[in-house]
Amino acid sequence: MKLIVISFLLMVIGSVTSGRAQRPSDNKSLLADASYPEKEAHQKLLDNTKVVYAGSDTEMVSPDSIRSLIDQFYVNQFRHFQDPKAPYFMFMSKDANMAMGIGGVIRMRGWADWNGSVPANGFAPYLIPVIKDQTNMKRLGATPSGCAVFLTILGRKSIFGEYIGYLEANFNGYKGTGFQLKKAYFMAGDWTLGYATSTFSDPAAQPPTIDGAGPNGYVSRTNILIRYMHTFKSSLTIAGSLEMPSTQIDDNGEFTKKCSDWFPDISGFLQYEWNSGLSHLRFSGLIRVMSYRDLIMQCNRDVMGWGVQLTGKFKIGYPVTIFTGVGYGKGIGSYLGDLSCDNTDLIPNPSENGYLYAPGSLGLTFGVKYNFTSSIYSTLALGHLRYYPKTGINNSAYKYGMYGAVNLFWDITPRFQIGAEYLAGKRVDMGGMHGNANRVDALFQFMF
């Protein structure tokens, strides 16, 4: 941990000195000459995309028109660092008003655990054994989980205005090789319909990690939804959605039993952004209704869950980006990294059989990204998740988890990336017992 803190201080000092030497006098000139590393990397990706025309008279299509259509793929409030880039080949109409691309990601992760092993591909502190298994103190593993194929259709000047159709499937199933649908949605103007990232989530505010699980305190959820999202003057965005519920309830079948979900999760956010989208601050909210049957009184009961969170991404000078997030709620365990590993939306009341209640939870995320160049960068990512059930719960129940990662990425080309990462985690139970785990992992990734 001391090494991580020292590394962070060195990165901050370096950002100040390098920022003074390189940055122009204002943000507008920075963006204009693409001197931000993120802008430079984005420009390389756009230049790297190859266009195949459908039709003749392609000389009439302006490069700016082609570029703006491809750029639609990246204008997404819910893009995550690990999401695929635009396809290498885009099939485009001769008037540059419609494009289609088929792409994919070949992603291989390998890791080694010691001094306690996490029995999963993702490094989730919730899964750290508190009582160490001496037969599982070290573990070497690798997985193709995260490999993906996708199809996207981009268009404009139709009855929908600008629109995007997107379909993605990942190899995340059995042993990391089973084919599973990850996203399937249609965006037209201000509306989104389909299987997409929850409006309560803010993937852009999550620090980059090689680990597929990421910091344990952030909100991560994909739902079938209908969403309205509108941006005013390119800086203020509002959004609201109705999302299909999927509650995780701890019913024992003796005193309580889960009822079918019948009320949609309602989510929304208010966001302000600047630096051409490189920085933003978002306030999000969630309301949900969860139902169960009291088998003692032979009646159904509804419990309201709710959550709020404040997230942000802040570009500081040339090389530094800060990622932050804090959220609290009751009955939102299935939306949070660690708690989604178990049934924590509703749990039994220890003082009254037949009753379930929504426990509280607090999630914290912090990250610092430092760009040595546009293609070489490092991130420090920290996460903390604390669980607040009522007193009387079992001493072996989860109380809180801590997550730390420091990594280094190298984009050898715009589509070929390698990286290495060190991870440390800790789980503490209600009775005070705790367990630790350590991991180093490596990444090989090619996007096409």
What is the maximum span of the chain, computed from C-alpha positions, in angstroms? 76
Query: Rounded to whole angstroms, how far apart are CA atoms 39 and 41?
Result: 5
Give tens-digit pLDDT for 379-434. 999 999 999 999 888 899 999 999 999 999 999 999 999 999 999 999 999 999 99
Is residue 351 within 8 Å of 310, Cβ to Cβ? no
Mean pLDDT, all residues of the chain: 86
Q: Which of 441, 408, 409, 410 is nearest to 424 (CA)?
A: 441
Give tens-digit pLDDT for 189-219. 899 999 999 999 999 999 999 999 999 998 9
User: Which tokens sit at 113?
Assistant: 């655990």
Is residue 295 within 8 Å of 255, Cβ to Cβ? yes
What distances in angstroms separate CA 324 from CA 197, 203, 312, 378, one per listed residue? Answer: 19, 11, 5, 16
Tally of structural domains, the chain: 1
Helix (H) or strand (E) holding 154: strand 148-155
pTM over 0.85: yes
Sign of CA dihedral 301, 194, 81, 308: negative
Q: Which residues contact 37 (CB under 8 A, 6 or more apart)?
A: 318, 319, 371, 373, 374, 377
Transcribe 336-356 into DSSP letters: BTTGGGS--SBEE-TTSTT-E
Is residue 9 within 8 Å of 382, Cβ to Cβ? no
Report residue 134's pLDDT band, with 50, 70 and 90 as the boundaries.
confident
Pairing of strands 89-93, 50-54: parallel
Which CATH number covers residue 386? Answer: 2.40.160.10
Give tens-digit pLDDT for 312-371. 999 998 899 999 999 999 999 999 988 998 999 999 998 899 999 999 999 999 999 999
Q: Which domain holds residue 416?
A: 2-447
Q: Which residues contact 349 (CB under 8 A, 6 or more apart)?
A: 355, 356, 357, 390
Average pLDDT, integer, range 154-161 = 81
Q: Which of 441, 423, 429 is nearest to 1 (CA)?
A: 423
Q: In this predicted structure, what is the pLDDT of residue 331?
A: 96
